[in-house]
Structure 1
């Protein structure tokens, strides 16, 4: 079934008798009252909402809208070069924004317009007939009434949508400001002021999560709605930063399941004011190519915290192997690493290296010749464990 073409007021060609228009204009206050009363009675969302000053404002808005319509129906263009309905359309737009701020839906608003169209048509058509408007003109008049209501309804819906979008953007900027202060070590007073402005519920902990930009929306869909999203951070290069509230303890497992196979990195849970530490760790893990859960890579993170120091330590600890052929040095290094990690259990070392236990014995004899008594020195053993803890 083809879509209905929206009714339009432009170029309508109707020009009502001036005396009939004057009579209808004189009755605008009564029509406005009847319209507002019908809306209050028939739309649950407006029960009690249109009393007092607000009700009076709505009555004035209805009169403005109907006045603009009568100018349109009489063929007058008014001072506005576009259309005499422009003030009414602007009023409808602002009404939509106001309804969004009041928390009412467009359903209630459109129901009000339908009732307004019905009541207004009944009142004005009665006056029109009493003033001798011919049936064929009355048909055109009816078409124009409902086209006009279409335009006002569309303007209000647009205003409602724009207000919601604007409100969402404003709050998102406020939440981003909270994240910014948390990540830049702003004073606690500054952070708390931003939290209050954003209306954000303070959690016990925050967990920094780095997510590829393409995965942000699906990840957020499974996270707490109180999750903060940091603004653009150039150092992340294609990733977004999410600060997830209260994902500690057992809740961390649920977070990690949400992030599985998304190319994300989750830092540790930290007291919410200390989330910068979680972000730093997650970023460091990402830079090192360590995926998923930073808690699973603590040893490597510690050992790689200072790459230059680790390189110097390796050079000093492995100096006895420096003059050997590269292939021989590599085998002895692997054997020494396994020997230290398996605490000298020869069979375990052989199983890990896929060699015979006698080969392990032979290589360890070579290493003892190279290191001498230092392999029994705790300080040397510590240096070797750290130097060989991460495969080079």
Structure 2
């Protein structure tokens, strides 16, 4: 709201001596002063050149005349017995004018320039009339002070209205953006998502990438990303509120742009989902959620951990598979079983190249030969069976030492 009390400069109105003749003369020139003020603003402030034409120009001219009339009522000594004569309506009008400028997407620069031009024109015309009708020279300076103080009050009220509108509209838009993000991860229909994006004033990108990042690091990450990045900090499905995680939905960081995204989250222990068409970005969020299970001291790029994600999609099935295919090792001691499982995994991944297996395990090639002989005794011809090879490869793909011990102890 505009200020309820005028600046203390207005309290000095009692020092101004304007008789009724001068006041009546000033009132008489108000229509001309308002017209000249609008003409000057139109000519000198380019932003208003078109805005003040036609009916809008007439409305603005009437508003200027009304504001100046308020000022004259304020300084009219015939009403000076009540120095609390309100100028609130004029200030409220200026406040709403500032809000209107903000809603129109304009800064205060043009409006403040208009106030400066208006003050100059109003003072020039009003002072000329006052002097012509006998205003003493000693009173002219006081009159000028009040004219400019009045304009300053109007300008300050407009600045306040502009700031309040920006704050209000900013909060409203942020709520719309947060709601849009929630709709995206909830996999709502494309029609609903487009309506939500339009309501938020958000230009949809081609793709979105879901990034889970510690809330404490989110602000520093967001500053490196597109201003269209959506950020959610509450009510994230699948994440406990106490986990302190934020979700970023980052526009168009797929393909060659992905390294830049990974660089932005470097060192944050973030989990980065895949890029997806923006209306289907809920799947990127789902992937990022699953990626949290992958232990890492740094960023988890789910695009490079697909095998582990696939293996972890049904952990019970994976445990059952390991127990089945590692059953031949259950007759051995745990340490021996782990060594043979490690050798078998390397042998499968290196497609039987003994020297490569030996190099990976830091053992002699003859050791590899010996261990593989033991495995062939345990598995027999099954090591040549494609189905068994597939199952062993899946079971041992992530080198699960603890799982080998669990499977062989079962």
Structure 1 pair 265/294, CA: closer, same or farther in 2 (3 Å)? same
1:384 positional shift:
1.8
What SS does the corresponding residue of 2:247 show, helix, strand or coil? strand
1:77 positional shift:
8.0
Q: Of residues 265, 274, 284 in structure 1, which corresponds to 2:271?
A: 265
| Distance in 2 separating the partners of 1:135 and 1:265 | 76
Partner of 1:143: 145
Partner of 1:288: 294
What SS does the corresponding residue of 1:12 show, helix, strand or coil? helix
RMSD value over aligned CA atoms? Answer: 3.0
Q: Determine whether 1:385 maps to 2:386.
A: no
| Distance in 2 separating the partners of 1:148 and 1:292 | 62
What SS does the corresponding residue of 2:56 show, helix, strand or coil? helix
Partner of 1:326: 334
Q: Determine whether 1:358 maps to 2:386.
A: no
Partner of 1:182: 184
TM-score scaled by structure 2?
A: 0.83
Partner of 2:3: none
Q: Of residues 268, 275, 278 in structure 1, which corresponds to 2:284?
A: 278
What SS does the corresponding residue of 1:91 show, helix, strand or coil? helix
Structure 1 pair 124/263, CA: closer, same or farther in 2 (3 Å)? farther
Q: Which moved more, 1:70-79 or 1:268-277?
A: 70-79
Q: Of residues 306, 313, 324 in structure 2, which corresponds to 1:298?
A: 306
Partner of 1:158: 160
| Residue pair 1:8, 1:148 contacting (<8 A) in 2 also | no
Partner of 2:346: 338
Partner of 2:58: 56
Matches within 5 A, 1:7-46: 8-9=8-9, 11-14=11-14, 15-19=16-20, 20-46=22-48
1:222 positional shift:
4.1
Q: Determine whether 1:311 maps to 2:319.
A: yes
Q: Of residues 341, 366, 369 in structure 1, which corresponds to 2:377?
A: 369
Partner of 1:4: none
| Residue pair 2:210, 2:272 contacting (<8 A) in 1 also | yes
Partner of 1:73: 75
Partner of 1:209: 211
What SS does the corresponding residue of 2:336 show, helix, strand or coil? helix
1:277 positional shift:
1.1
TM-score scaled by structure 1?
A: 0.86
Q: Which runs of 5+ in 2 are unaligned?
A: 1-6, 401-410
Cα displacement string for residues 143-162 of structure 1 (whole angstroms, at most 9, x for unaligned residues): 22222222211221222233
Q: Which runs of 5+ in 1 are unaligned?
A: 1-6
Partner of 1:118: 120
| Distance in 1 separating the partners of 2:374 and 2:42 | 96
Cα displacement string for residues 271-314 of structure 1 (whole angstroms, at most 9, x for unaligned residues): 33221111111121124345342111111111111222222222
| Distance in 2 separating the partners of 1:150 and 1:293 | 57
1:179 positional shift:
3.0
Structure 1 pair 63/140, CA: closer, same or farther in 2 (3 Å)? same
| Distance in 1 separating the partners of 2:9 and 2:66 | 17
| Distance in 1 separating the partners of 2:83 and 2:365 | 98
What SS does the corresponding residue of 1:27 show, helix, strand or coil? helix
| Distance in 2 separating the partners of 1:39 and 1:106 | 15
| Distance in 2 separating the partners of 1:18 and 1:214 | 67
| Residue pair 2:291, 2:300 contacting (<8 A) in 1 also | no
1:228 positional shift:
3.5
Structure 1 pair 316/8, CA: closer, same or farther in 2 (3 Å)? farther
Structure 1 pair 10/313, CA: closer, same or farther in 2 (3 Å)? farther
1:18 positional shift:
4.4
| Residue pair 2:214, 2:244 contacting (<8 A) in 1 also | yes
| Distance in 1 separating the partners of 2:203 and 2:275 | 17
1:95 positional shift:
0.8
Q: Which moved more, 1:339-348 or 1:64-73?
A: 64-73
1:119 positional shift:
1.3
